[in-house]
Amino acid sequence: MLAVPTGRACGGFTLAEVLVALFVVALGVAGAAGVQAMAMRSGREAARIADGVQLATSLAERMRANPVAMALADSANPYLQLDYDSAAGSPPEAEACFGDSNCGAATLAGFDLMEVARELALRFPGGRLLACRDAAMPDASGLPSWACDHQPGAPVVIKLGWREPGEAGALPRVQLPVAVGGT
């Protein structure tokens, strides 16, 4: 039989020390999982914003490529009548208008708006797209709003937003100025 010498402690860990170590490791793993989930959400959001900027830029280029329609008064400018919510249904239909066809500025604008609205419905379910004159700054919370001030000479702005899961409504997440001045 082995005798334990008196005055010396036995080596090893107690059950309490092992449980504390496991708890610390579990906290570290849970924290890492939380950071990973947040990084994935942020990556998805950044990709959607990049897609939104691309879609808004596409509309801005179409507007710039149709100077006859952009020179019209705001009330007659087809681009400034755009306020499409993809949750409301299918995009409006328009007459086909391509570079080799003989179509006027209004027909071309209608075709542009139909294509952009269709793209919005495909890429941003629950998305909204608006073009208007707006010089308003974001509200007190720093968020842009859908409201437009329609002031003559204010820049033409494209606003694009979408609903995220759990949100009641779409907020403008992309706000792209297109032109300054004009009537």
Residue 27, CA distances (Å) to 13, 31, 137, 150, 167 in order: 20, 6, 43, 53, 30
Q: What is the pLDDT of residue 90?
A: 79
Phi, psi of 128 (to 5 degrees): -135, 140
Q: What is the pLDDT of residue 94?
A: 78
Instruction: State the total domains in the chain.
Output: 1
Q: What is the pTM of this model?
A: 0.75
Do the beta carbons of residue 162 and residue 126 sit within 8 Å? yes
Question: Is 89 a domain residue?
Answer: yes
Question: Is 8 a domain residue?
Answer: no
Helices (H) and strands (E) in the chain, counts: 3, 4
Question: Is 9 a domain residue?
Answer: no
Question: Is 30 a domain residue?
Answer: yes
Q: What is the pLDDT of residue 2?
A: 60
Question: Is 51 a domain residue?
Answer: yes
For 118, the domain range is 20-179
In the chain, what is the straight-line distance between the N-terminal and C-terminal CA atoms, in Å? 104
Question: Is 175 a domain residue?
Answer: yes
For residue 70, give the amino acid letter.
M
Q: What is the pLDDT of residue 50?
A: 92
Q: Which residues of the chain have pLDDT under 50?
A: 180-183
